[in-house]
Amino acid sequence: MNDHFTITITDDNGVKQFNLHHFVKQAIIYALGFIGALALISIATMLYLNYSVDEIQEKRDGIESAYLELQDKNEDLKASMNDTRNSLLLKKQELNELSDSLSKIETLIGIAPLADTSLQERVNLTKLNSEHMATLLQLIPNGSPVEYKGITSKFGYRIHPTLNRREFHRGSDMKAKMNTPVYATADGIVEYAGLHKKSGYGRLIILQHALGFRSYFGHLNKIVIKSTRFVKKGDLIAYSGNTGMSNGPHLHYEIRFIHNAVNPFYFIKWNVKNYYDIFQKEKKIPWQSLITATANLRVIKPTQTLPSSQLAQKSTGK
């Protein structure tokens, strides 16, 4: 058995031969095989690491993209939070302004809000009182029946301008040129409309209102409504004149409660701004009983304040 093998090397110096033992041959073969295997493992490892690096880079890119998207969402959230904060501040300011306005209304209608009363409860209570006020101002005569120019003869005792004797004047003589429009000062039914010879009122309109009130319009030139007709506050009912016992064009305006004459000037001046004043000034009317009796009474669509009534409020009370 041959345990040797020969390696021949040829170069410029000639040919050289080396005799090696077969074991060495096997060792070389194994070494070459190991090196080859190691090379394959290294190549495989490099390929795997390269793939892993690509995968990690892809994941990193995904994370960076998600991070950037999260940053954008965070910026949007910050902007949304700022908008919400600004909106809340604006709403808070509006609520404060609403509360201040509500306080003015509460003061105007005589409500003292409790410390633990919510804004909604205050609004509801104010609404109820406002509705009641609007109802009474719709049903009880208020405001000026003509464009307000002043009073020529007040309610109370006076020397009659044509009879020249002291008499009780049941109304207010209001300045009004011939054919000045005359308006109803509250809802009612026409009790009388025509010439009233015996009283000296000349052409006269009597409106019967709710809750025991009546209004009288005397010395009219022209009447544009008929008896038994219903009228709304603000309706045109006549034109002023100089009929009957009159010494010049004007409007004689009376208000009566259960047939008793009351001072119409307080009612001419009566409106939502001085709503409670009349309760102190006019003592002939049982206001507390009237208010209690009408607490649940509501007019669905009350008439807005008449221009003539607004002019009456601007007057100096002459």
Overall average pLDDT of the 205-222 stretch: 97
Overall average pLDDT of the 27-31 stretch: 77
The per-residue pLDDT for 310 is 44
**Could you report the per-residue pLDDT of 229-266, keeping only the tens digit for each?**
999 999 999 999 999 988 899 999 999 999 899 999 99
Query: In this structure, what token pair is assigned to residue 6?
Result: 């020969």
Residue 69 CA neighbour count, 13 Å, CB half: 6
Residues 38 and 150 in one domain: no
Least confidently predicted of 20-24, 45-49, 227-231, 273-277: 20-24
Domain span at 28: 4-72
Residues 150 and 299 in one domain: yes
Residues 147 and 45 in one domain: no
Q: Look up the pTM and report it.
A: 0.61
Structural domain includes residue 130: no
Overall average pLDDT of the 183-207 stretch: 94
Which residues is 214 bridged to in the sheet? 208, 256
Structural domain includes residue 158: yes
Buried b (16+ CB within 10 A) or exposed e, 218-237: bbbbebebeeeeebebbbeb
**Could you report the per-residue pLDDT of 70-121, keeping only the tens digit for each?**
888 888 899 899 989 898 888 888 877 777 766 665 565 555 555 666 756 6
**Could you report the per-residue pLDDT of 115-156, keeping only the tens digit for each?**
666 756 655 555 557 788 889 999 999 999 999 999 998 887
Q: Which of 72, 98, 125 is the last residue of a domain?
A: 72
Number of domains observed in the structure of the chain: 2
In this structure, are residues 234 and 187 in contact, taking their beta carbons and an 8 Å threshold?
A: no
Judged against a pLDDT cut of 60, whether residue 315 lies above it is answered with no
Q: Which of 72, 95, 127 is the last residue of a domain?
A: 72
Residues 162 and 310 in one domain: yes
The per-residue pLDDT for 311 is 45
Least confidently predicted of 33-37, 147-151, 157-161, 184-188: 157-161
Structural domain includes residue 89: no
